[in-house]
Structure 1
């Protein structure tokens, strides 16, 4: 994990247990830079939401310390931490208008009427809802309610905004639209955002960095492109994006590469990322879009026979399920353009890939 000098948020040896025995978060060390958009990504029960709740003040660490702008916050109640919060269920007051909902954080802080009106107007303009200030939440769509919740979190100009699965209740198109709008608002305001989700696409689309959680531990913390292209272990490779998995035994190690004997006997040259050396078991990870169909002989170190089992038209690409190395769940993606390969069910082909695209990881 890259070191951040003078972090805005710091989790230092943080642990959390609800029953005194099982640790939901284990010795968390995490620094977040000022102005960063950091996403906590992982499956249910991985500890990501618990970390957010501890930062917000709704949960207390069992051990360790959380620092905000250089100061410990374990004795600071949630409403005095100056943190904006956006939830999946929006948590809007149904009896208040949009303007009253957005202005509520300013009202409890004793902001004057004129200044309150100015800030509310600015916040609603930012989320493109300036014309709906007089409506109540029940008169708004789900996407509009989400924008109101975001405006309310931003209206008092917090230095830190926490977002807990805020787009989970929206339909696909609206969710994608809100992803780009959140990214734009973050870039415009420069506010630090910590975002929790289990949606890989959301994380890859919006984040400066992503912390992938599993079993209360950060498995990898990196920029989206690094996380996708260079997963450091088998869990991250399987959780981020789609990949083909091939199990085998390491025969030899040759510099940065290794030769792996797959379980059905095919030798494969792969990038030696995280194996225990010759004789050790490994899981190889290979992205479907990195595979070539019928490559020129000798052009790639790995060229194997395959049988096309299924062909699916997906619009921008053709998705094919093949039988490869004794597995019937091997996926190949071919771009859909004028010169794309036409595949037919039952067809015998050869597929190939470079060693650098096939990562030999922990088994």
Structure 2
């Protein structure tokens, strides 16, 4: 998907509501035709404001947004040919399902003779072909969200925006709808821009994810790159589960560095955005990349710590350890028959590879690093 024609371009876009604080800061972003791009971040990070500017419900304070090469800053929402799906569905309760789906066609003055077929096709796409005569109140939450999706797709937009569309659903239905939307995107080849604060949802559905923090895109990449190669401490902590160790850079050699941890131990790490000796650093390590007991032969680092907690979770053990310097580390161990489960108070060794340990600048330094 990524690498094709640019459908949407944000150029140096800024947004402020009070004339002082920038909610979105100098945003440069290309969205490619046919891709599924998720804007991910905590509340107040700028992701929803970015989506609303693209939809036309907010106007940039500075900069330009183009769609198919044409500036759309001053174009009203209904003239942008963009489908929109909201968290609260925004269905008309007095209309039937079919009437709700037909509404965008009527607004666009589509001939009545064509509307019926287009509505039937849209409802069929979301597996609601038999529900056209019902009203929204007669549907479940998941069915209502499908109606909202059909309404967004019925006029064949080249771009569909989704603002936390699954936020009101329970976990099981939410996960089911994630896959439905993902498969629908793959089938239709439309461009989707999706906003969520749920990082697992973003990783599941997206071709690329743009991680927002403080009005800035901290990193934009495919889900596996974000998880395996976070660009700074914020991304490392926001995407997936993560462990942090604090220390100072002792030496740097190419893309590797030696770090003296707060507890005095020395470890080898992969250098990300640290640049000189004696610089403070935060090391990030994923729980599944820490080993207890049997470990790969190429591990570089070994620390001895005390088990604080050990929980059996069926397919894996979750072990929390305290290591010198007062840091707590969480380890995921794959469960297997006859596995000896560590017990609180046990003193044991854990190990990890240098390539699985990333040295970042502390968060206060890294926060503005795009």
TM-score normalised over the length of structure 2: 0.95
* Corresponding residue for residue 115 of structure 2: 116
Work out the CA distance in 1 between the residues paired with 2:172 and 2:148: 19
More divergent stretch after superposition (3-12 vs 264-273): 3-12
Structure 1 residue 338 displacement after superposition: 3.4
Gaps of 5+ in 2: 363-370
Q: Secondary structure at the residue paired with 2:26?
A: strand
User: Does the 8 Å contact 2:295/2:351 carry over to 1?
Assistant: no
Q: In the TM superposition, what are the counterparts of 1:20-59 in structure 2 within 5 Å?
A: 20-59=19-58
Q: Secondary structure at the residue paired with 1:130?
A: coil
More divergent stretch after superposition (342-351 vs 91-100): 342-351
Work out the CA distance in 2 between the residues paired with 1:122 and 1:156: 11
Structure 1 residue 341 displacement after superposition: 4.8
Q: Tell whether 2:331 aligns with 1:338.
A: no
Deviation per residue, 1:237-291 (Å, 9 max, x gap): 0100111001100011123211100111111110011113111000000000011
Structure 1 residue 126 displacement after superposition: 1.0
More divergent stretch after superposition (349-358 vs 104-113): 104-113
Q: In the TM superposition, what are the counterparts of 1:1-363 in structure 2 within 5 Å?
A: 6-295=5-294, 299-327=298-326, 329-338=328-337, 340-363=339-362
More divergent stretch after superposition (123-132 vs 305-314): 305-314
Structure 1 residue 125 displacement after superposition: 1.1
Structure 1 residue 189 displacement after superposition: 0.5
Q: Indicate how the Cα distance of structure 1 residues 316 and 295 shifts in structure 2: closer, same or farther if over 3 A, else same.
A: closer
Work out the CA distance in 2 between the residues paired with 1:268 and 1:92: 57
Work out the CA distance in 1 between the residues paired with 2:334 and 2:117: 50
Structure 1 residue 113 displacement after superposition: 2.8
User: Does the 8 Å contact 2:261/2:325 carry over to 1?
Assistant: no
Gaps of 5+ in 1: none
Structure 1 residue 114 displacement after superposition: 3.3
Q: Indicate how the Cα distance of structure 1 residues 339 and 41 shifts in structure 2: closer, same or farther if over 3 A, else same.
A: farther
The number of aligned residues is 361
User: Does the 8 Å contact 1:295/1:350 carry over to 2?
Assistant: no
User: Does the 8 Å contact 2:59/2:74 carry over to 1?
Assistant: no
Work out the CA distance in 2 between the residues paired with 1:152 and 1:97: 12
Structure 1 residue 302 displacement after superposition: 0.5
Structure 1 residue 292 displacement after superposition: 1.0
Structure 1 residue 304 displacement after superposition: 1.1
Structure 1 residue 335 displacement after superposition: 1.5
Work out the CA distance in 2 between the residues paired with 1:125 and 1:337: 45
Structure 1 residue 358 displacement after superposition: 0.2
Q: CA RMSD in A?
A: 1.5
Structure 1 residue 329 displacement after superposition: 2.7
User: Does the 8 Å contact 1:244/1:286 carry over to 2?
Assistant: yes
Structure 1 residue 151 displacement after superposition: 0.6
User: Does the 8 Å contact 1:321/1:328 carry over to 2?
Assistant: no
